[in-house]
Structure 1
Amino acid sequence: MASNTFSAAFVRTKDGWSGAEVDLGSAEIVDDLADAVAETLALAGDELALLCVEVEDEWFAIARYTGEEEARVFLSDAHAVMADTVGELFAEFAGVAPDKEANGLGVRPAGDFELLADLGVSAEELLELSMEEGVLPADILSVIAERLSFADELDRLR
């Protein structure tokens, strides 16, 4: 995993959100991401959990886990993720075929754009944030965390 990677998971409880840093260094398959989140947060099974990953100024991803429901993911840039193992896992998760030749085509978000719509961040807003030129992934995640009310937890972990 790239040394400039930050990953943290957040679980929504009746008292608000709580979070913990997640080590994705040993993740080899997409299911390992969910296992790392469940283990780190000690999930009981039906909670809403979000995994937020940012790789310096390259890309970010948000994965959503809710009990037995199918996991969902949003990836800010399908091109940028091909540089490391964790990125390749997120590309696979988002259903993006690796295309190492297409790097210069600009930002290309992928995955589930409606991922956070029921929590207050619409698909349009998520895409707009992701494609805003000159804005770093860390800043975008901070805006999203603020909208979803776990900014304090995110700041504490950074």
Structure 2
Amino acid sequence: MSSRPSGNSVFSAAFVRTADGWNGAEIDLESVEIADDLGDAVQEHLGLNGDELALLCVEVEDEWFAIVRYQGDEEPRAFLSDAQAGLTDGLGELFTELAGVVPDKENSELGIRPAGDFELLSDLGVSPEELIELSMEEGVLPADTLSVIAERLAFADELDRLR
């Protein structure tokens, strides 16, 4: 199964927090088939080898974004800007699975509803309320929202470099 959505532009990058700040790498999700493949791709591209904190940021143009937090042997924690992303493509399915979300096929026109772990960035300075508010801001593209989050977490320069 190819997880890449058809017709939409996808950008994905992972960032690892180091003693000197954040380092990032673009992540190719073309061959990702299962949720575990996401973590493997992050580990491979960033060269993780321990308890580092890493964030995978994915934006699907004009549609939705996801953030997955990896830290050591802990289970990944995921936030998804729209719980219905799993209805649109295979990549969305992977992120709804990671976020523990079951899209509502009966009511696919529910509007944007963030889902997953709302606290995954709270210890880094973005509260659950802020994350939800940023995700639901009308007229703001997923790329813009991720830029605001990256600015708040101090990896905006790395994000801009990779875009």
TM-score normalised by length of structure 1: 0.96
Residues 65-104 of structure 1, C-alpha deviation per residue, up to 9 Å, x if partnerless? 0001121000000113421111110001111113333221
Q: 2: CA distance between counterparts of 1:35 and 1:24?
A: 11
Unaligned runs of 5+ in 2: none
> Of 9, 16, 20, which residue of structure 2 is paired with 1:4?
9
Partner of 1:49: 54
Q: Paired residue for 1:63?
A: 68
Paired residues for 1:1-158 under 5 Å: 1-2=4-5, 3-158=8-163
2-structure distance, mates of 1:53, 1:70: 18
For 2:51 and 2:88, locate their aligned partners in 1 and report how far apart those are by CA, in whole Å: 34
CA RMSD, Structure 1 to Structure 2 (Å): 1.0
- Identity percentage of aligned residues: 75
Query: Could you tell me how far apart the structure 1 residues matched to 2:98 and 2:82 are?
Result: 13
5+ residue gaps, structure 1, are none
**8 Å contact kept, 2:51–2:71:** yes
Spell out structure 1 runs of 4+ moving beyond 6 A: none
1:43 alignment partner, SS class: coil
Deviations 1:5-37, CA, capped at 9 Å, x for gaps: 000000000010000000111111111110000
Task: Give, as a single letter, the amino acid of the residue that structure 2 aligns with 1:57.
Answer: D
Contact 2:55/2:70, CA 8 A, preserved across alignment: yes
